[in-house]
Amino acid sequence: MKVWDLHCDTLSELRRAEKAGSPKSFAHNDLHIDLEKLQKGDYMLQCFAAFVNLADPTPGTDPLVTALEEIDVFKRIMKAYPLAIAPVYTAADLRRNAEAGRISAMLTVEEAGCCKGSLGVLRRLHELGVRMMTLTWNHPNELAAPNANPGGPLVANTETGLTETGFAFLAEMERLHITVDVSHLSDKGFWDIVEHGTRPFAASHSNCRVLAPHNRNLTDEMIRALADKGGIVGLNYYSAFLDADLTHPDSCRSTVELIAKHAAHFKQVGGTEIISLGSDFDGIDGPHQLETAADLPLLANALRREGFTEDEVEGVYWRNAYRFFEHNL
């Protein structure tokens, strides 16, 4: 069965390896994702995020340079394996790659703080091929506040959302058809998007807060609002976003059964058409049953056991995301 994954951090890991003097091949490596694993997993499309940590302690680090270097990694991969994988910038590219039997790759950004508040930088990122972007990662920036408190309690931020610059970015991203990604965004920021946004948006790698009370997950009210806006959500495989026992993080589990239970709750609250996959591969640690991109067939069986029909399983795996981006690129 074909697979569409809304989020991974593989570009960051490949760049990190290059910087350390031990570059990894995209064809085959020890990461969660490489070309061989994507082919074995029967992937239709993988979203590759240029990930930026605004608190990176490396001397001389510039968030924009980091993003551009990861985009450069993406471009070099596309050039190196043109018969196997190709970029997607338009809906026509989706159809063209599928007809040619190539895996599609979509460039995204995780941390709009790399733009440094500049709409000009945002427009240049669009020209480079970025088609989805989170407004924040885990640190406040010029645009918005996150739902994170590194080292502190996992309390949802209901007080601070988008800034004036953030609202300007929202409008320009919608004009450019860069999908706004609300994963990592504060609760207040989420509702700012719902109130002021005019286009469908995504939560590329987030789960259900009622099942796992982490502030990175979505409340039922958020799930309904996302569905009402025609949005899409990607099931995250990280144990702390799946399991309820946050008091003992070492015992949190990442199993296909838990992922399927979050999918079932999304279905109950927002309907099946909002559900997709958002692995967070190469950005998550700890043991997880889906160890690599090659293991995705395991999840389909768990979804069936949870009561999903064959048509609904295909929707979760690829069709819902295909439909979303076919109308929003």
Q: What is the DSSP string of 103-142?
A: EEEEEEEE-GGGGTT-HHHHHHHHHHTEEEEES-SSS--S
Instruction: Please give the pLDDT value at position 287.
Output: 85
Q: Are 108 and 48 in contact (CB under 8 A)?
A: yes
CA distance 321 to 302: 20
Q: Could you report the per-residue pLDDT of 98-121, keeping only the tens digit for each?
A: 999 999 999 999 999 999 999 999
Instruction: Please give the pLDDT value at position 125.
Output: 98
Q: Could you report the per-residue pLDDT of 153-193, keeping only the tens digit for each?
A: 578 999 999 999 999 999 999 999 999 999 999 999 999 99
Q: Could you report the per-residue pLDDT of 44-64, keeping only the tens digit for each?
A: 999 999 999 999 999 889 999
Confidence of residue 250 (pLDDT cuts 50, 70, 90): low
Q: Look at residue 249 and tell me whether its pLDDT is greater than 80.
A: no
CA distance 305 to 163: 44
Which helix H or strand E contains 203, and what residues bound it? Answer: strand 202-203
Confidence of residue 83 (pLDDT cuts 50, 70, 90): very high
CATH topology of domain 3-328: TIM Barrel (3.20.20)
Angle in degrees, CA 283, 289, 295, rounded to 5:
85
Q: Look at residue 30 and tell me whether its pLDDT is greater than 90.
A: yes
Alpha helices in the chain (DSSP H): 10-19, 35-40, 63-80, 91-100, 119-128, 164-176, 187-196, 220-228, 256-270, 297-305, 310-314, 320-328
For the chain, the domains span: 3-328
CA distance 164 to 162: 7
Residue 186: helix, strand or coil by DSSP? Answer: coil
Confidence of residue 151 (pLDDT cuts 50, 70, 90): low
Q: Could you report the per-residue pLDDT of 202-237, keeping only the tens digit for each?
A: 999 999 999 999 999 999 999 999 999 999 999 999
Phi, psi of 206 (to 5 degrees): -145, 150
Across the range 286-307, mean pLDDT stands at 94
Tokens 């593989």 map to which residue?
10
Percentage of residues in the chain with pLDDT exceeding 70? 97
Q: Are 202 and 233 in contact (CB under 8 A)?
A: yes
Q: Are 107 and 131 in contact (CB under 8 A)?
A: yes
What mean pLDDT, rounded, does the chain reach? 95
Among candidate residues 142, 138, 165, the one with its CA nearest the CA of residue 52: 138
Across the range 137-153, mean pLDDT stands at 84
Instruction: Please give the pLDDT value at position 155.
Output: 83
Instruction: Please give the pLDDT value at position 59.
Output: 87
Percentage of residues in the chain with pLDDT exceeding 90? 91
